[in-house]
Amino acid sequence: MAPDPAGWTALVLTGGRSSRMGSDKAFALLDGRTLLEHVLAGIPADVPCIIVGPDPGSLPRSVVVAAEPVPGGGPVSGMAAGMPHVDTPVVVVVAVDMPFAGPVLARLAGELASSADDVDAVVTVDAAGRRQQLAAAYRTDGLLAALAALGEPRNRAVREIQELLTMVEVLVDDAASDALVDIDTPDDLAAARRRLRSSTSAGTGGRGTMDEWIEAAAQALGIPRDLDVATILDVARDAAHGVERPAAPVTTYLMGYAVASGLTFDEAAQRLGALAREWPPTA
C-alpha cells in the first residue's frame, strides 16, 4: 500500500461473533445499506481502509481485506491482523457496529497528529466518563510495539493494549456521543432506523426506507421477512457489473424463481454470482 497523503488509515473490525444480533452485524441493513457500508461512507475518500474479518464482497470503495489466523479472536486479535497492512503514521480503529462514527474518526486522527510526540493514542470519552475503546486513534509504531509486548492477542481486552500506551482522552459532546453509538442487538438496529427516519423525514415527504419497503412488500406477498438481503444485493451487483445494469432485477427474479422451484437460496446465489463474475463466457 502506498503512503497516504491523509496521514492515517482506518482499521475497521468486522470479525465479531454478533451473538446478540443473531446474524453478522456487518451486513445488517440500515436505510438500504449495510452497517459496513455506512462506516466506510463516513471515512474520507483519501483515507486507506483495512477491513479485518470475512471478505465482504463488492463494496463502493477500494479496501484491503485482512483475516485473523483463527477467526473470532476478539478486537485485539483483529487489530494485530490488520496492522501489517498499515503504512501511515496514524491508524484509527473502529468497530463495524458504529455506523455513524466517520466524522469522529477524522477528528481523532487530527487530535493525535497534533499531540505531543510522547502521546501514543487518543480515545473518546463521553460526558458520563465512559471510554468508547473501539473508536480510538493510535500512532502506528506505538501500537505495533504494544502488540509485541502483549504477546498472544487472541481473547485479550482492548484495555490491556491501552494500558501499555500513553493515552489522551478526548471528551466528546452529545452529538459526537450519538455518532459513536454501537448497534449490538435488533432493538439497537430498530432505534438507529428510527433515528435516520426522523432525521430525513422532512426531506422525504414521509417516504419509508428500503427496510420498511421490504417489510411491507413481504407482508403483501405473504412471504417471510427473514430475507438475506445482503446476498441478494451482492448477486444483483454482480449481474449489473458483469453483464449490464438491467440484468440486475431480472437476475434477482430468476434467483427467486429458482428457489421457488426447489433450489436452495445459497445454491442459487452461488451459481448466479459465479456466472455473472465470469461473464461473458470465453469461446
Average pLDDT, the chain: 84
> Counting beta carbons within 10 angstroms of the beta carbon of residue 110, is it exposed (0 to 12), middle (13 to 18) or buried (19 or more)?
middle
Alpha helices in 83-223, H assignment, sequence order: 102-113, 140-150, 158-162, 174-179, 186-204, 210-221
Closest among 53, 124, 115 to 89, alpha carbons compared: 115
The region that residue 71 occupies, defined by phi over 0 for left and psi between -120 and 50 for alpha, beta otherwise, is: beta
Please provide the distance, in angstroms rounded to a whole number, between the alpha carbons at the two ends of the chain: 36
Closest among 139, 137, 92, 104 to 120, alpha carbons compared: 139
Question: What is the per-residue pLDDT across 7-21, written as a single tens digit (0 to 9) for each?
Answer: 999 999 997 766 667
According to the model, what pLDDT value does residue 19 have? 64
| pLDDT: which is higher, 159 or 128 | 159
* Residue 27 near residue 38 (C-beta atoms within 8 A): no
Q: How far apart are CA 52 and CA 14, in angstroms?
A: 6
The per-residue b/e assignment along 52-77, b for 16 or more CB within 10 angstroms, e otherwise, is bbeebeeeeeebebbebeeeebbbbb
According to the model, what pLDDT value does residue 1 have? 37
Closest among 42, 12, 15, 16 to 30, alpha carbons compared: 42
In this model, does residue 206 exceed pLDDT 60? no
Domains and CATH numbers, the chain: 8-179 (3.90.550.10), 206-277 (no CATH)
pTM for the structure as a whole: 0.68
Give the mean pLDDT of 224-235.
Answer: 74
Question: What is the per-residue pLDDT across 70-120, written as a single tens digit (0 to 9) for each?
Answer: 988 999 999 999 999 999 999 999 999 988 888 889 989 999 988 999 999
